[in-house]
């Protein structure tokens, strides 16, 4: 679920208006509370933060892969093939989609979010990448494209969705460094972590419940590199996810965090001088007076 004020650019408005009616009162309250607290960060005297804002949060450049991947997204949104969903987990409050197009419109990370993830990896340059929640593969390909040489494993639970993601990876021309695994997170995560060895970056986007979210974090901890970055999607999805986020950002291994509203970033490396330990951040256009 995405909230328009925290998109990387105003194109997220359409996604917001299409989904606004589905947001429950708990999420409404939490997101508006977040927005009241959040700032653009422009007034913080920290060169490292200003560089991160300019090159990750607010960069408007069109990178080489954006048009190709948005073309693939458009094909999926018009794909009328029937699809059988094995398990939606805790990631949906609606009935299972019957066609690929329904799933693409409902479950794919919007373009502004996927492009944010591309810029995030392009900036931090991790050598190993983990994604929990491949869906149809668009976000995985955005992250893979940001550093094609990085060893990346993305895990999807549903066999039919996984098969479509594999086809999308072939169409995109993904390198052998990207592996798409099919199975449950709990069963495959230990093997994925062992294969990656050291984990530099993870995007956790699935199974939106408090305890599984905390369990995935704890499983990753022994493998995290000295400058690891973990991104948790939908941190305001429910009271359980809000509770999980509060615990995660307060963990003693976490050096500092950024709450973006739609997702939360945890940093394990040394905190730059002047960078707040816990920061709630929105793009300048969303709150220009802050």
CA 251, CA 256: separation in Å to the nearest integer?
A: 10
Query: Which of the residue ranges 32-41, 77-86, 154-163 would you say has the lowest mean pLDDT?
Result: 77-86
pLDDT at 97: 74
**For every residue of 14-54, which 3-state class applies, written as one string?**
HHHHHHHHHCCHHHHHHHHHHHHHCECCCCCCCHHHHHHHH
Q: What angle do CA 188, 234, 42 make, to 5 degrees?
A: 125
Q: Where are the domains of the chain?
A: 4-66+110-286
pTM summary value:
0.89
CA 256, CA 258: separation in Å to the nearest integer?
A: 7
pLDDT at 14: 52
Q: DSSP characters for 117-172?
A: HHHHHHHH--SEEEEE--TTSHHHHHHHHHTTTSEEEEEES-HHHHHHHHHHHHHH
What pLDDT, in 10s, does the model give residues 263-277? 999 999 999 999 999
Mean of pLDDT over the chain: 90
Assess whether pLDDT exceeds 70 at residue 156: yes
Assess whether pLDDT exceeds 80 at residue 188: yes
Question: Using 50, 70 and 90 to split pLDDT, how confident is the model at 89?
Answer: low
pLDDT at 85: 84
Question: Using 50, 70 and 90 to split pLDDT, how confident is the model at 6?
Answer: very low
Assess whether pLDDT exceeds 60 at residue 8: no
HSE, CB side, 13 Å, CA atoms: give it for residue 234: 22
What pLDDT, in 10s, does the model give residues 219-232? 999 999 999 999 99
Assess whether pLDDT exceeds 90 at residue 153: yes
Question: Using 50, 70 and 90 to split pLDDT, how confident is the model at 23?
Answer: low
Q: CA Rg, the chain, in Å?
A: 18
Assign a CATH topology to domain 4-66+110-286.
Answer: Rossmann fold (3.40.50)
């Amino acid at each position: 679920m995405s909230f328009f004020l925290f998109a990387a650019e105003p194109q997220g408005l359409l996604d917001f208006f299409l989904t606004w009616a589905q947001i429950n009162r708990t999420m409404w309250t939490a997101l508006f509370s977040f927005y009241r607290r959040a700032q653009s960060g422009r007034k913080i005297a920290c060169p490292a933060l200003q560089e991160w804002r300019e090159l990750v949060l607010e960069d408007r450049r069109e990178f080489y892969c954006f048009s190709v991947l948005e073309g693939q997204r458009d094909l999926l949104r018009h794909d009328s093939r029937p699809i059988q969903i094995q398990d939606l987990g805790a990631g949906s409050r609606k009935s299972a989609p019957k066609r690929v197009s329904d799933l693409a419109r409902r479950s794919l990370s919007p373009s502004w979010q996927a492009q944010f993830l591309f810029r995030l990896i392009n900036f931090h340059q991790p050598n190993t990448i983990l994604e929990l929640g491949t869906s149809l593969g668009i976000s995985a390909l955005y992250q893979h494209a940001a550093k094609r040489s990085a060893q990346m494993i993305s895990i999807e639970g549903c066999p039919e969705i996984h098969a479509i993601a594999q086809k999308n990876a072939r169409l995109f021309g993904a390198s052998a460094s990207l592996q798409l695994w099919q199975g449950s997170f709990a069963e495959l995560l230990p093997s994925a972590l062992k294969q990656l060895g050291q984990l530099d970056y993870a995007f956790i986007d699935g199974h939106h419940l408090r305890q599984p979210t905390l369990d995935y974090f704890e499983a990753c901890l022994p493998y995290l590199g000295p400058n690891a970055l973990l991104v948790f999607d939908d941190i305001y999805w429910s009271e359980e996810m809000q509770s999980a986020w509060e615990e995660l950002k307060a963990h003693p291994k976490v050096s500092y965090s950024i709450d973006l509203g739609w997702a939360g970033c945890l940093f394990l490396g040394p905190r730059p001088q002047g960078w707040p330990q816990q920061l709630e951040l929105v793009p300048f256009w969303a709150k220009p007076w802050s």
